[in-house]
Structure 1
């Protein structure tokens, strides 16, 4: 079974390169496509964070990975299957990110910390609710913590 999805918005950002780190402090705008009016964003102002589902549209479908690889090509980290990591060369090229909501300006969301570049198609926008966070203790391998060390560090703190 196949599905067709169409963007509900696009990212407007000063960032044009999908780099692996330094997304903290990055502010961008999410502009709704013409078929959605400002009313579709009603109620979002009451939330501090959003969850954004988007398409890694710059990833060539021929480069999608389906097997195990070393995250960020670091041989000192273990071989991990594509579903055991959050790399962008995923089978459906979908990204999911939580970001802070700075403001709502008509048909535009101003957000902070969204790891998406200029023009990225946004497929869905959801308010983040604490109850959707993990229940119980969270565990992850050491390499994942190392990988994320600079991910949300502001670029100015390199």
Structure 2
């Protein structure tokens, strides 16, 4: 397989909300996804208010590029959990530094999308925004490794100040 790099340009940035990426307590975090007005007009968000949730693709812009770990490691370096390869994680230690999050859409105000539970911090470059379609959710039986449920027990718990 031949690598063919391509350029990805942010369509928006996260404004407000959390300022530091942390492992837990993203619940109730409110922020704004501010779409770039130099490239998009008001019609770009037309109809979006009919959806309750968004799927947001963003770049982990605060991650140290030297922190890439393409091999297996224990989630959150917890010795109680098994070693898992890079594609068995959802963390920021990835080759392209991409994150995907589903969040609740609270309000559309022109090019400002008011959201809750977006686990991206203030200033995060947003690469794409898609409405969440229930029909694109998982089909069939869903299962996951037991350690993920333990690890994410407080992920969307209310934010602590």
TM (norm. structure 1) is: 0.96
1:21 aligns with 2:24: yes
1:11 aligns with 2:30: no
For residue 144 of structure 2, give the secondary structure of its aligned residue in structure 1. coil
Greater displacement, 111-120 / 33-42: 33-42
| Cα separation, 2, equivalents of 1:30 and 1:142 | 33
Shift of 1:20: 0.5
Structure 1: how far apart are the matches of 2:17 and 2:135? Answer: 33
Give the aligned partner of residue 41 of structure 1: 45
What is the number of residues matched between the two proteins? 157
Aligned counterparts of 2:51 and 2:113: Cα–Cα separation in 1: 12
The SS at the match of 2:151 is helix
Corresponding residue number in structure 2 for 1:124: 128
RMSD (Å) for aligned C-alpha atoms: 1.1
Which sections of structure 1, spanning at least 5 residues, go unmatched?
Answer: none
The one of 76, 81, 86 aligned to 1:82: 86
In structure 2, stretches of 5+ residues that fail to align are none
Question: Offset of 1:66 from its aligned partner?
Answer: 0.3
Q: What TM-score does the superposition give when structure 2 sets the normalisation length?
A: 0.95
Divergent runs of 4+, >6 A: none
**Separation in 1 of the partners of 2:16 and 2:24?**
16
